[in-house]
Amino acid sequence: MLVAAAALLLGGGGLAVVATTALAGNSGTDAGAGHAQHTVAAGTVSCPDVGEALKTVPRAAQLQVSKGLASLDRQVADAYGKMTEGGGSEVLGKLKQQRQRTIGTMSDAIAKSAERPSYLAKLAGCKTKQDDTAQASAKSANGWTQWQDGGQDGSQDSGQDQNQDQNQGQVQGQDGGQDQNQGQDGGQDGGQQGQPGGPSPDDFADITSVQPNAGQPPFAAPNGDNASTGTFTTECGVNEEGHFNSDNVIVTPGVSNGAHHTHDYVGNTATDAFANDQKLADSDTTCKNGDLSTHYWPVLRKLDGTSEHKPGAGHDGNVGSVLTPATVTLQFRGSQAGDVQAMPRFLKIITGDAKAFTNGTKNANASWSCEGFENRQLKDKYPICPDGADVVRTFAFQNCWDGRSIDSGNHRDHMSFSDQAGNCPNGFTAVPQLVQRITYDVPQGNSFAVDSFPEQLHKPVTDHGDFINVMPDDLMSKAVNCINSGQTCT
């Protein structure tokens, strides 16, 4: 196995090893498995999630907030790139100053129409975060230098909180500066770097070694006397049309490359950063039943070393050939507690968290498994499947709605999950639960990864799904009737 070591200077002056190594399972001669080499990063940049903290975003401030969130993401990605090149605590200090200016500008925009979100000022400082899986892998590999922590817990704050929040300044340019975590053109034998910043070999698990753990909904459909047991399935293909972009129409509308990773779309054909509700309603669809809804998720890539230097791909550290799903199933299910009511048109839902590696797993919600083993679900590992069994990604969306809003400031507060008995929180009501199930025929071994923000290191826990309900009202009514009457409909 080829092994190369470099140094990542963490805040506080400590050194940690960054390894470039072939993942287990990719070093053989099987062309289907690829020959890509992979960077296993020892740590990353962790910043408070400003978007997650937003409570209210007035319509008049939406574009400015979108630009601000996109700038914050670019600033973190650039800082992560500089850290991997040997930058130290001065990188985090500069990052904090940039974030203060951007957060200040966002706060100014919100304050023109609503109460100033002063709580955002506390979110400017960042730190480093240790990748424990990569560290464990590095310690066990032959020829590795021992790790040296950058601090007592492997992370360091960005410095003293001496700077006051600056509520002035311009939002940083969205394309300002070159991304320092760009992918390398590869796909050749002999040690080409394939997937910058992850994943680690320890991000994979043999599904046959996982204990059964999925006896509850959504992996077991609602059942019993009180449950609404019907299903409504909408068939929208597997993106044969090649509808891809790196936009994020829910979180950063009006901003190109707001996701910094590539999304795979089925359903509404007009979905991009500039698709408002009217544009979506006037669009065409890939769904056979006329459903105009938007379904999207990050692409899965075969780690074969190929790279396209464009936004969302090599430009943002996402390297490898995009894998087309073998199947995509979009099913709406009922509630364990009783009937469901119709979703409002243009309801927007995000499940999972694209920044769960640095944010923590509170909102992580994607599950990974293999065909034939779906009673075994993984949250923070990619599955290694037996020969002939496809990889399965499952996104089970929130199934309780607040009855008022089609969206919220952080794109989460208007939706919630029911408890195991199907009961929604106070003030929420049950709506059909969307379950997106996507399968892939992947090469054997540790040979694939989900697209991510650069600093999220392609961790499986960062996987996420997005949905905008653009069903015509009569189709939504049909879906609800099917579910509540216990029928199986398409």
pLDDT digit string (tens) for 251-292? 999 999 999 999 999 999 999 999 999 999 999 999 999 999
Residue 205 φ/ψ, nearest 5 degrees:
-140, 140
By CB atoms closer than 10 A (0-12, 13-18, 19+), residue 153 is exposed
Q: How far is 484 from 490, CA to CA, in rounded Å?
A: 14
pLDDT tens sequence across 423-453: 999 999 999 999 999 999 998 888 999 999 9
Q: Which residues of 214-245 are buried (b: 16+ CB within 10 A; e: fewer)?
A: beebbbebbeeeebbbbbbbbebbbbeeebbb
Residue 370 φ/ψ, nearest 5 degrees:
-135, 150
Q: How far is 260 from 317, CA to CA, in rounded Å?
A: 9
Strand, helix or coil for residue 380: coil
Low-confidence ranges of the chain (pLDDT < 70): 1-42, 132-196, 216-217
pLDDT tens sequence across 133-148: 554 444 333 222 222 2
pLDDT tens sequence across 89-136: 899 999 999 999 999 999 999 999 999 999 999 999 999 998 765 544
- Over pLDDT 90: what percentage of the chain? 71
Q: What is the pLDDT of residue 220?
A: 78
Q: What is the pLDDT of residue 258?
A: 95
Q: What is the pLDDT of residue 86?
A: 83
Q: What is the pLDDT of residue 217?
A: 66
- Max Cα–Cα distance, the chain, nearest Å: 64
Please count the residues of the chain: 490
Q: Which residue has the tokens 């993106």?
A: 239
Q: What is the pLDDT of residue 42?
A: 52
Q: How far is 272 from 244, CA to CA, in rounded Å?
A: 9
Q: How far is 242 from 314, CA to CA, in rounded Å?
A: 18
- E strands present in 353-390: 366-370, 382-384
Q: How far is 251 from 257, CA to CA, in rounded Å?
A: 11
pTM tops 0.85, yes or no:
no
Q: What is the pLDDT of residue 224?
A: 86
